[in-house]
Amino acid sequence: METVLTSEAILTALLMTLIAGLSTGIGSLMAFFTKVTNTRFLSGALGLSAGVMVYVSFVELLPDAIHSMEHYASEKMAMFYVLLSFFGGMGLIALIDFLVPEDENPHEIHNINSGANGKLKRTGMMLALTIGIHNFPEGIATFVSGLESLDIALPIVVAVAIHNIPEGIAVSVPIYHSTGSRKKALWFSIASGFAEPLGALFALAFLMPIWTPAVNAVCLAAVAGIMVFISFDELLPSSEEYGHHHFAIGGVILGMALMGFGLLLF
């Protein structure tokens, strides 16, 4: 599939990235109005997100990347460049994950309802900052997938939005309980999600002027690497930590099935 860049496609991709980023606010609202988080739902939903991301990465994005790269290289060299880009995307998000201290890393949150001391506000603010750092490359990934195909991008947006919900909860709970202000908690939660549209704007400013089939291939493969890493490093472990193994695995299978049949039908 060739990526055709139009102003409408770019605007749609930006809008989808904004929607995905703002979903952290949904998590914040859930923390305000529900006393007990439905861990079965979160476990299954995070598994579903992982299933969607892994399936679309290997079945759609990587083959499309190879096809685009074959305009410039032989089949084997195209595969080589795509693999470099794929693992480069993994390396980028892994480096970001490594540079964030474990105590402040949103991937290392084990109990979204934990914490009740004088450091709660600082904890919430640091979580908002570090989640924002993690969301920046996700914004680039969502934007690039939106340029590739609406059929591919919509499930990815839903998957990213679902996995942003627990992050919104993680930010809002300590700030809300330390300040008593729903507005502050909601603001910090939404602010952490704004890193995703910022990532999209970065891609628009620096990638669009040099966009070619080769750049398209590199971006698609790197996006696939980012999404696979996020699935294995964040989504699947988090879905298991909520204590509902079969809901998590069922979510993965359902996510793959929905993505596969959705692409087949549409």
Is residue 1 included in any domain, yes or no? no
How much is the pLDDT for 112? 47
Distances (CA, A) of 245 to 16, 106, 204: 31, 21, 39
Please report whether residue 167 resides in a domain: yes
Q: What is the pLDDT of residues 216-252, one digit of tens each?
A: 899 889 989 988 998 898 888 888 887 788 999 999 9
Distance CA(56)–CA(226), nearest Å, equals 12
State pLDDT tens for residues 47-98: 888 888 899 899 988 998 999 999 888 999 999 999 999 999 999 989 887 8
Q: Indicate the pLDDT class of residue 109, thresholds 50, 70 and 90.
A: very low
Amino acid at site 259? M
Could you give the CA distance from residue 65 to residue 67 in angstroms, rounded to a whole number?
Answer: 5
- Contact in structure between 220 and 89 (CB atoms under 8 Å): no
Can you read off the two tokens belonging to residue 168?
């919104």
Higher-pLDDT residue of 104 and 176 is: 176
Q: Name the more confident of 202 and 266.
A: 202
Q: If 0-12 CB within 10 Å is exposed, 13-18 middle and 19+ buried, where does residue 114 land?
A: exposed
Residue 93 domain-assigned (yes or no):
yes
Is residue 12 in a domain?
A: yes
Angle, alpha carbons 3-223-79 (nearest 5°): 75
Determine the Cα angle at 137 with ends 10 and 85, to 5°: 90
Angle ∠(245,163,33) on CA atoms, nearest 5: 95
The residue that leads in pLDDT, 253 or 1, is 253
User: Which of 73-82, 104-113, 139-148 has the weakest average pLDDT?
Assistant: 104-113
Query: Range of 240's domain?
Result: 7-32+39-260
Taking alpha carbons only, the member of 165, 167, 189 closest to residue 179 is 189
Measured CA to CA, the distance from residue 253 to residue 247 in angstroms comes to: 10
Does residue 265 fall inside a structural domain? no
Share of the chain above pLDDT 90, in %: 20
The vertex-196 CA angle with 163 and 257, nearest 5°, equals 40
In a domain, residue 266? The reply is: no
Give the residue among 246, 55, 30 at the shortest CA–CA distance from 156.
Answer: 55
**How far is it, in rounded angstroms, from Cα 9 to Cα 197?**
15
- Assess if residue 2 is contained within a domain: no
Counted domains in the chain: 1
Give residue 37's pLDDT: 58
Task: Provide the 10 A C-beta neighbour count for residue 216.
Answer: 24
86 assigned to some structural domain: yes
**Of all residues in the chain, what percent carry a pLDDT higher than 70?**
82
What's 73's DSSP letter? S
Q: What is the pTM of this model?
A: 0.71
